[in-house]
Amino acid sequence: MRTFDDEDTGTDRAAELLLRRMMLADTRHAATADEMAECATAALALGQRDAARALFALAFLQRGFAPAQLRQQAELAQWTALWDLRRPERMQDAAPASMLDQAIGELTGLIGTVTLPTDPVARADLALTEGLPAALDRIVLEDCPRLFMAMRTPQPSGELGALLDMLATDALGFARIDLTQYVDVPTPRLLVLYAFRGLQDFLRAHHELAFVPGSPDLLHAVARLSPTGLGAYLRNVRHVVRDGADISGLIRLADAESRADAVLPRWAAILAVGLDQDLRLGLVDEMADRGEPEPLWIMLKAVERTLGVRDEMVMLWRLRDAGADLFDMDLALRAQWLVARQRVHSAYEWVILGDMRVTVGDLRAAENDYAYAAGLSVNDNAILARLDALRAGEIATIAAVGGFGTQRGRQRRRLARAGMLPTDPLPLADMHVG
């Protein structure tokens, strides 16, 4: 394999500079499948076959494994000579009359064939290691292509589960890599780092399908969904439903065994993966009205994994409100703590966090939150009064006993979206805090 230390032609040097520019163009957002494929093509032209194989594997993983995608993979593998892939014998059958019909049929198949774990949702903090894993080259150059091949098999295998378990530690266990810290490394190394970040982004984006509450079988199944139905990795769900209530309706229509009340919370959280923010906000309201904290926890963890990649502040506020309304103060506190960590210069958010800590009796942490807020907003009498009341033991005056989510507030949001907002003013206790 040639290296970039060899004597290059002017064309090779220009191609290398273009490749580096593509990898460093937008280091905050997750690279798309097309961007991965473009970098893979450029790497292949420069003789970096192992890195190109890993990047093509990541692009294939993102696009899914519907029959049309399998055919494209086989054609590209033949052109690049990176794999020996068999083409599917036939293309996908004709779709039903509508996307809704196709979506219901696909969801019926998922509910009927994929068994979801019954273990409680893991609520532990995400402990991320800074830096890079020692086995970085193996993870990128060997495990990425292995993951692609394991996902491409017609049936899920034990190898897929073992790979995901290993990558949960080797890739997800590390903080998302910041490529701006590596702009001076040689291009072959930058390719590996770029691919590693792509693997991290893929696993984080589909965590609810591959890990909790999903499974390798679920990830394997949703990767094969039709572009005329739910879409690979449920990307089309936002085109099938109108609001959060439609998610419940879709599950009930698809539940062939009439177990909707039992399966709805878990499947609602899974379908949320494919929703945009407005629809996810509606689903939070729907699950809160049903008194279902489990999908709210799952959605909170999904938001936490994508912080720094996209703005989720409104979602965090809504989850906080729903948690407080359901008296799940662990959920509400976690959401508000994440808000405060994102709005480190907002005294208002730190005061809310302090009020909530007082509510659960964590007075030492509440005092620290108020003191921090007082440092941000000097001579703010309201914050100083809270500190004085806390130190005097007068916590009843500052505990957050209500005024967060409430069903009436959620009903008004639905009416507002429908253009039918009632004229009577909303009581202060029903107002949204965020």
| Structural domain that includes position 24 | 10-86+123-211
Asked which of 69-78, 195-204, 301-310 is least confident by mean pLDDT, the reply is 301-310
pLDDT in tens, 271-287: 888 888 888 898 998 88
Residue 281 lies in a domain: no
Q: Give the pLDDT mean for 13-24.
A: 89
User: Quick one: tokens of 320?
Assistant: 């906080």
Residue 379 lies in a domain: no
Percent of the chain residues past pLDDT 90, beyond the cut: 38
pLDDT of residue 258: 64
What one-character DSSP code corresponds to residue 428?
G
Report whether pLDDT(428) > 60.
no
The most confident of the ranges 125-134, 245-254, 368-377 is: 368-377
CB 23 within 8 A of CB 194: yes
In whole angstroms, what is the distance from residue 169 CA to residue 176 CA? 13
In whole angstroms, what is the distance from residue 130 CA to residue 307 CA? 16
Report whether pLDDT(209) > 70.
yes
User: Quick one: tokens of 165?
Assistant: 């378990």
**Bigger pLDDT: 140 vs 412:** 140
Residue 194 lies in a domain: yes
Output helix, strand, coil percentages for the chain, rounded to the nearest 5.
65, 0, 35
pLDDT of residue 231: 93
What value does the mean pLDDT of the chain take?
83
pLDDT of residue 90: 60
Residue 17 lies in a domain: yes
Q: Give the pLDDT mean for 246-266.
A: 78
Q: Give the pLDDT mean for 61-83.
A: 91
The pTM assigned to this predicted structure is: 0.79
What band does 14 get if pLDDT is binned at 50, 70 and 90? confident
Residue 345 lies in a domain: no
Instruction: Say how many domains are in the chain.
Output: 1
What band does 396 get if pLDDT is binned at 50, 70 and 90? confident
Q: At what angle do helices 329-342 and 293-306 cross, to 10 degrees?
A: 20
Residue 241 lies in a domain: no
What band does 150 get if pLDDT is binned at 50, 70 and 90? very high
pLDDT of residue 430: 44
pLDDT of residue 93: 53
Residue 54 lies in a domain: yes
Nearest residue to 62 (alpha-carbon basis) of 85, 94, 35: 35
According to DSSP, the residues that pair with 231 across neighbouring strands are none
Question: E strand or H helix at 291, and its extent?
Answer: none
In whole angstroms, what is the distance from residue 80 CA to residue 60 CA? 14
Residue 282 lies in a domain: no
What band does 242 get if pLDDT is binned at 50, 70 and 90? confident
Q: Give the pLDDT mean for 97-121.
A: 79
For CA atoms 393, 397, 402, 403, the dihedral sign is: negative
